[in-house]
Structure 1
Amino acid sequence: MKSVEGPRSTMESRSHAGAVPSTLTRHQLLDEQGVVAEDPLLSPYAADITVEELQHLYRSMTLARRVDEEGTSLQRQGQLVLWVPLRGQEAAQVGSVWPTHPSDRIYPSYREHAVAFERGVPPAELMRYFRGLSAGGWDPEQYNLNPYTVVLGSQTLHAVGYAMGASLDRKAAEDSGSPLDGDPEAVIAYFGDGASTEGEVHEAMVFAASYDAPVLFFIQNNQWAISVPFATQSRVPLATRAAGYGFEGLRVDGNDILGVVAATRYALEKLRRGEGPVLIEAETYRMGAHTTADDPTKYREREEEDQWGHLDPIERLRVHLRTVHCVDQAFFDTVAAENDAVARQMRADVLAMSPPEFVDRFDGVYAEPHSLVAAERAEYLDYQAGFVAQDDSQDSDSEGVGA
């Protein structure tokens, strides 16, 4: 078994005096040299991944990074209200969503762009959210992907509630003699190390354990909760917390695409067997700013960034494809060109977007017509009409003075 540690020197210097050394294995299959090692638990869950599938994972990871770069540029040029970079977390996101079924339900936070793209959400739909033109960006029922949430931790409660309902529906169907077709539905709740300290997350895990809800708590521990280092947030790896709720926690190298895929497959298998929730802590690193409103140079050191830069998840898979599977340069050039084309189209789509009329907001308050909303809409239209009447009156007065 290969148990490894990521760069810890700068974090250890800031850790609590009472920090507890962890004995929980940190699983890794693909190291930074692109070499695959054996892991008794995870290796069987990655053994059947083909080179074609590895190439798909590479495409997904690099597409997410290219869109991320374009998103940052668009925000800097005033075309987006805000952008949330994901650079460095591509393996954690793609590797965890790729093994899911289309029927599985996903509850993201606000940085899961690679998850959204792998689920089929066009980049332009995501950009509508960050341009401030939509409260969600996409139809959650079309992709089985809930809208982003900026209320830290709240998505874990939503995920557990949905998972409990899905589980009860299946049991009711079985009890009635009309079992549902297909594999049992699984749910994934994404959140970060910062959100793990929110009370909602604790409550969600209590309910998930109590009802054996088929939910995977997927933590992307990117080492920083905005400007607060992970060592300040927790004295132990987050995966160890699962034991306190009575379910399994896995700690995996979040920059290892094979390790994340294998850990997620293992967890989803347990969920579908009805064995209750699972927690995965993917240890990765936010290579850029928390958002485009953030300046990470104010709170973290270049040495730390350089250390983690050598563990880049995309470069790790690129080396593996080249050295182990003899994938030639033409493939990588083609992928880069395709990603550039997607970024150009996304930019064109963003620049062509026009803001909706405010009156249209009334249409999205409820799914069905509502008398109170209809009255408020009419009141707003009357209010707006008053300005039009006033403008017409002023124009008439001006014409009279000129005459």
Structure 2
Amino acid sequence: MDDGRNGVPEGGLEDAVQLLTPTGERVDHPDYAFAGDDALVRDFYADMVRVRRVDAEAIALQRQGELGLWPSLLGQEAAQIGAVHAMRGQDYAFPTYREHGVTIGRGVDPLRLLAMFRGIDPGTWDIAGLGVHLYSIIIGTQGLQATGYGMGLERDGLVGSGDPERDAAVVCFFGDGATSQGDINEGLVFASSFNAPVVFFCQNNQWAISEPIERQSRAPLYRRASGFGMPGVRVDGNDALAVHAVTTAALDRARSGNGPTFIEAYTYRMGAHTTSDDPTKYRLDHELAQWRERDPISRVRAYLEATGAADEAFFAAVDEESDALATRLRRDCLSLPEPTLAETFDWVYATKSPELVEQLARHEEYVASFEEAR
């Protein structure tokens, strides 16, 4: 199979911000610097390992028929964890369906994610309290939602006041495939026109299901930002430190009232698009092997080991905690109660409309008819 891709992982990274090399060496960049300490880097590592373990457990559950579907984030942990750590409590995230690192990083119990993909929960976490919206399953819709929310923040006086505890911004997460959707482009137009405090965070994982990025865009995605009148930056999406630095700068810009930014996190989806996908049908093994050498978790671990910022006891504790989390998730997922159809009427509106009350009554009457027939 020859699709014109050379699979070289360095391709596309020549102009990307990088602060930590694949071998774990810190490097400088003229425009961006990582402001955190080694304690934060240890947090990056622990969070990435934890999220990857959740991901692996969810795939196993789906293969055993316990979940209907699962979209893996394997390989994209640094992009998500680096970005979510740059957010403040008052910020708000609009994820797509692969942002498990973002949702868990904002405090969502991963069991709620499993319940959604088990088909028994429409998404019941506290979106306002945690500052992370429900998953957007339809590609690109979150672009308009994030822009509208950001415009609302600006009109409520929550942008540009100079108060770091009050000023807020929005992060809109999406993939490279979504850049071909109208909703994302319309969101970019409105965000630029109304100076909305939105960070458009594109995880370019090279494949929109089976379509390579070369067939979607003749130019690097981050360069599209100039056409919308906003700055664009490409970052090494497998470098958690660089992602954190770039996202922090973009969020600071948005909160201060200086408008939106487009970030392209250049990364790679090492797993399937979802568990219904077979990536061996459209991509080459050597491409995957080369990107495994840029594994985001191995990169951070190499840095922590080389600098002595973490010892074997730390790594063992992270693995033990992650395994315990996976065990709990499996146990609790299998014991989740199956909702009745009548309960789903409670999920539509905070207060039932007269029409919904009537529909519920008819449903209950219909169900009762079967009992009477026995």
Q: Which TM-score band (shorter chain)?
A: over 0.9
Shift of 1:11: 5.4
CA contact (8 A) 1:187 1:215 kept: yes
Shift of 1:181: 8.2
Opposite residue 28 of structure 1, the aligned amino acid is Q
CA contact (8 A) 2:196 2:259 kept: yes
Corresponding residue for residue 134 of structure 1: 121
Corresponding residue for residue 40 of structure 2: 53
Q: Does 2:161 match 1:161?
A: no
Deviates further, 137-146 or 216-225: 137-146
Q: Does 2:268 match 1:285?
A: yes
Query: For residues 13 and 275 of structure 2, what CA distance do their matches in structure 1 show?
Result: 37
Shift of 1:362: 1.1
Query: For residues 181 and 139 of structure 1, what CA distance do their matches in structure 2 show?
Result: 23
Residues 186 and 49 (structure 1), Cα distance of their counterparts in 2 relative to 1, 3 Å cut: same
Q: Does 2:292 match 1:302?
A: no
Shift of 1:12: 4.1
Q: Does 2:318 match 1:328?
A: no
Please give the residue correspondences for 1:198-213 in structure 2 after superposition, counting only pairs within 5 Å.
Answer: 198-213=181-196
Find the residue that maps to 2:258 and give its secondary structure: coil
Question: Unaligned regions of 5+ residues in structure 2, if any?
Answer: none
Residues 11 and 248 (structure 1), Cα distance of their counterparts in 2 relative to 1, 3 Å cut: farther
Q: Does 2:77 match 1:77?
A: no
Corresponding residue for residue 300 of structure 2: 317
State the TM-score, normalizing by the size of structure 1. Answer: 0.88
Question: Unaligned regions of 5+ residues in structure 1, if any?
Answer: 1-8, 15-20, 392-403
State the TM-score, normalizing by the size of structure 2. Answer: 0.95
CA contact (8 A) 2:16 2:235 kept: yes
Query: For residues 130 and 208 of structure 1, what CA distance do their matches in structure 2 show?
Result: 32
Q: Does 2:14 match 1:31?
A: no
Shift of 1:41: 0.7
Work out the number of aligned pairs and report it: 370
Looking at CA atoms only, which structure, 1 or 2, has the larger radius of gyration? Answer: 1
Opposite residue 210 of structure 2, the aligned amino acid is S
CA contact (8 A) 1:24 1:251 kept: no
CA contact (8 A) 1:86 1:111 kept: yes
Query: For residues 170 and 352 of structure 2, what CA distance do their matches in structure 1 show?
Result: 31
Query: For residues 84 and 276 of structure 1, what CA distance do their matches in structure 2 show?
Result: 32
Shift of 1:67: 0.5
CA contact (8 A) 1:22 1:236 kept: no
Shift of 1:214: 0.1
Please give the residue correspondences for 1:330-349 in structure 2 after superposition, counting only pairs within 5 Å.
Answer: 330-349=313-332
Query: For residues 107 and 168 of structure 2, what CA distance do their matches in structure 1 show?
Result: 19
Find the residue that maps to 1:281 and give its secondary structure: strand
Per-residue CA distance 1:280-310 (angstroms, 9 max, x = gap) = 0000000000000000001100010001010
Per-residue CA distance 1:134-157 (angstroms, 9 max, x = gap) = 112422123111000111000010
CA contact (8 A) 1:79 1:131 kept: yes
Shift of 1:23: 11
Please give the residue correspondences for 1:2-401 in structure 2 after superposition, counting only pairs within 5 Å.
Answer: 12=5, 25-43=15-33, 46=34, 48-170=35-157, 182-391=165-374
Query: For residues 192 and 201 of structure 2, what CA distance do their matches in structure 1 show?
Result: 15
CA contact (8 A) 1:80 1:132 kept: yes
Across the aligned residues of Structure 1 and Structure 2, the Cα RMSD in angstroms comes to: 2.0
